[in-house]
Structure 1
Amino acid sequence: MTTTPTRRPLSSAAIGDKPRGTFRQRYDELENRRTELVKRLRALGDGAQRHPGYKRALKLLNDTFRKSKLAQRLAVLHAAAWLIDILEKLTINM
């Protein structure tokens, strides 16, 4: 007769995640990431600025980011980073 081990949810220590940090630390990390993405977006040049996705990425990084709660801001930054990646690939081919 075999027994199945009892499953327990993994703790953050078992997964190896770092501690979340204070609210201020998380806020500052997100702001720094947003600043990096804005710099990447602005560095794309005139060809990308004429693309409709450029305005959408800018809106994500400014309006949508500011209106979102702290927990949602990381997802907004991921969406903006994805869009910037697409714009970078498009401008290489232009």
Structure 2
Amino acid sequence: MLPEVPTFTEAGHPKADFASWFAVLVPTGTPGPVVDLLNRQVVAALQSPDVRQKLQEAGFNVIASSRADTERMLKAEAARWAGIVKASGFKAD
């Protein structure tokens, strides 16, 4: 979307690997059927041609995931970023 801006690899950072993502989260203890219904409704909304087009025009790659896929992604992201934060030596005040 920004052809004049170099990629991370072109800028000398070939190992840079990150992406932004959005997920709808609910409080712990929300009944499974409620979570499943919400997931189906969010997926349906994201598959709507108007919504999909607007998000793609804004530069998003729309992936309407299942509940299980989202849970796997969140666990993988938490583990990955925990390792990065630990390796960086970052300390919160």
Same fold (TM over 0.5): no
Q: Name the larger-Rg structure.
A: 1
Q: TM-score, normalised by structure 1?
A: 0.34
More relative contact order, 1 or 2 (CA 8 Å, 6+ apart): 1
Q: TM-score, normalised by structure 2?
A: 0.34
Higher helix share: 1
